[in-house]
Amino acid sequence: MNLFNIIEEIEKVDPEVSERISPRRAAIKNITSFGSKVAAASLPFAFGSLFKKAYAQSSPSEVIGVLDFALTLEYLEAEFYKAGLAATGLGMPAADRTNYFEKISRDENAHVTFLQSTITALGGQFTPKSALKFDFTGGGAFGNVMSNYETFLKVSVAFEDTGVRAYKGQAPKLLGNEVVLGAALAIHAVEARHASAVRYVLNDKLGLGLRPWIVSTGSKGNDTGVAGVDGNYNGEQEIMQLGINITDLPNTGNSKTIQSATASFDEPLTKDQVLALLIPAFIKPA
């Protein structure tokens, strides 16, 4: 990885990064004046030191842990769409490929690159993709995922909805680091758009009555009708927020229905909950 590209990656979400590390930028110029060998040996330490000082509001180890967890999810999604786009027998319509999945795939790849760069900039080590292997069939539950477009869409919806809830669940751990939190929430917003888009495509294909957002009936959180992913939506049937029953609020119009109340809030998933859903069904050690 080109270490000088790290600043460019950080600038995408923190335009003030130059001010944060200035006047420490002079240190980089001084390092490079010692010669290429010294510079090559010193740059990783220098960059790690600069960014630790610039973004030292919260525990670096906790932040790096959150980012590495997010990276694992992005690996899964990036490899899933890469495999889907390459699957000759999937039957993905050309319009869906162009309008949705090529764009989603590019986004996921960009998320992977950004998270790797950020972890490195903070002086951490990210889990390499080579350390993991992915089973998009979920241990056989979705055996035709790469040969049946409907199954592919169902798994895609589950991945995207789960990713949105996972990012929300990790946000409180980043409250002390506004830059990283901002970046994570930016990715969270993109994942939400992915989920909305894939829900639209699945509904257009199967006519399931899906909304672009999760709408629980109250009996369970899963509104997709897809068997085997109830756990990914557990808790979405919640109508209580901060001890308040949303359906009892006055002057909320249609929000008094269970469907509207559950659609008004997305519920977070903890790291342990997400990993239990994905490991070992979809993600295993290499």
Same domain, 39 and 172: no
pLDDT of residue 58: 52
Q: Which long-range contacts (CB under 8 A, 24 or more apart) does 100-106 make?
A: 100/197, 100/198, 100/201, 104/194, 104/197, 104/198, 105/78, 105/81
Same domain, 46 and 119: no
CA distance 193 to 224: 17
Whether residue 162 contacts residue 274, with contact meaning beta carbons closer than 8 Å, is answered with: yes
pLDDT of residue 219: 80
pLDDT of residue 188: 95
pLDDT of residue 17: 52
Same domain, 121 and 231: no
State phi, psi for 241 to the nearest 5 degrees. Answer: -130, 120
Closest Cα to residue 197, out of 274, 96, 111?
Answer: 96
CA distance 276 to 233: 13
Contacts of 246 (CB under 8 A, 6+ apart): 239, 240, 252, 255, 261, 264, 265
pLDDT of residue 16: 53
What stretches in the chain show pLDDT beneath 70? Answer: 1-59, 251-255
Same domain, 112 and 235: no
CA distance 167 to 193: 13
Same domain, 113 and 202: yes
Q: Which domain holds residue 65?
A: 60-211+268-285
pLDDT of residue 43: 46
Whether residue 179 contacts residue 191, with contact meaning beta carbons closer than 8 Å, is answered with: no
Number of domains in the chain: 3
Same domain, 72 and 157: yes
Same domain, 158 and 69: yes
CATH number, domain at 139? 1.20.1260.10
Same domain, 205 and 218: no
pLDDT of residue 90: 97
Same domain, 231 and 196: no
State phi, psi for 128 to the nearest 5 degrees. Answer: -70, 150
pLDDT of residue 248: 84
Same domain, 139 and 275: yes
pLDDT of residue 247: 85
pLDDT of residue 162: 97
Same domain, 164 and 251: no
pLDDT of residue 67: 95
Same domain, 49 and 65: no
